[in-house]
Amino acid sequence: MVVVTDAELPADELYSGQALCKKCGKCQSKCPMKALSKKSFNVHLGDAVIEVPQLDRMRCDWSKRYGLCKEEGPAMIGNKTDVPKPKGKVTIDEIAKACVDRDPIMKNRPCILESCLQHCPAGSEKAS
């Protein structure tokens, strides 16, 4: 979703507390698409360095953007879409083909709750 505006919006301060990621690996193990790698890279924002796991964008999009994986949310609202997960590298052609098999009624109403975020302790009170 995108909001386009010409309003002046103040920038939030960059988070400067302790690292939120505990390197528990739950995001990788809970992802039904296995889109997150154990490898990571650093993002430099101002004086901060944030370590981010490598992401296979096409594998993630299979679930997150196109709602083709029932475990990521479609099944929670009765959507019958559950296209078998591809093995190996996912291509845009495979995604386009798979989109034909989406639930014809619910195909334009994806309900996604990414497992990586759902199970990540960084956003819970338990993380502190």
What is the DSSP secondary-structure string of 16-41? Answer: -SS-S-----HHHHH-TT--EEEEEE
Q: In the structure, what pLDDT confidence band is assigned to residue 8 with cuts at 50, 70 and 90? A: very high
Does the pTM surpass 0.85? The reply is no
In the chain, alpha helices (H): 26-30, 57-64, 92-99, 115-119
Query: Residue 1 has what pLDDT?
Result: 66
Q: How far apart are CA 120 and CA 38, in angstroms?
A: 15
Longest dimension (CA), the chain: 49
**More confident position, 93 or 46:** 93
**More confident position, 109 or 118:** 118
Mean pLDDT of the region 6-26: 85
Q: In the structure, what pLDDT confidence band is assigned to residue 108 with cuts at 50, 70 and 90? A: low
**More confident position, 46 or 109:** 46
83: DSSP letter: P
Dihedral (CA of 112, 115, 96, 100) sign = negative
